[in-house]
Amino acid sequence: MRVVIQRVSKASVSIDGNVVGKIGPGLLLLVGFTHGDSSADIDYLVRKIVNMRIFEDENGKMNISLLQKGYQILSVSQFTLYADTSGGNRPGFSNAAKPEIATRLFDEFNQKLRNQGVVVETGVFGAEMEVELVNGGPVTIIIDSK
């Protein structure tokens, strides 16, 4: 499981011009799954994400977590995080989990974030989406459960 974390002052996801998810300050998560990912991978990354100290304290030091701030998450599925670009100019996606598996894992991931007391907005799994964000910092971190 791989997640690109972006600290944002605001973010939204739209489908056909209609906003389906929107947050103020918090984290935009681009979430991908690969073969063999499980609930254990989800549990590990949920703990890391909600407790990661990437928001600034009163001294301007990244020392405050999402949970401490009470901020929100916009979670967007993105199978392209598992693109294989080693064999030419067209990426292959055979490393991404099959949609029926990834959908279940994505739903579980978002529910476990909500179980931590976080407001979680999402895109629509498998849809063609437009994501808008204002990246604060900028701060972008990539984490992997492996």
**Which entry of 68, 80, 111, 140 is annotated as an active-site residue?**
80
Q: Is 80 part of the annotated catalytic residue set?
A: yes
Chain centre distance of CA 91: 21
Catalytic residue of the set 6, 34, 72, 78: 78
Closest CA to 113 of 59, 35, 52, 64: 52
Say how far apart CA 19 and CA 48 lie, in whole Å. Answer: 28
- Sequence length of the chain is 146
Task: Name the nearest CA neighbour of 123 among 49, 24, 43, 19.
Answer: 19
The most distant pair of C-alpha atoms in the chain lies apart, rounded to whole Å, by 48
- Catalytic one among 79, 106, 109, 122? 79
**Helices 99-115, 39-51: inter-axial angle, 10-degree rounding:** 40
Catalytic (active site) residue 78: yes
Catalytic residues: 78-80
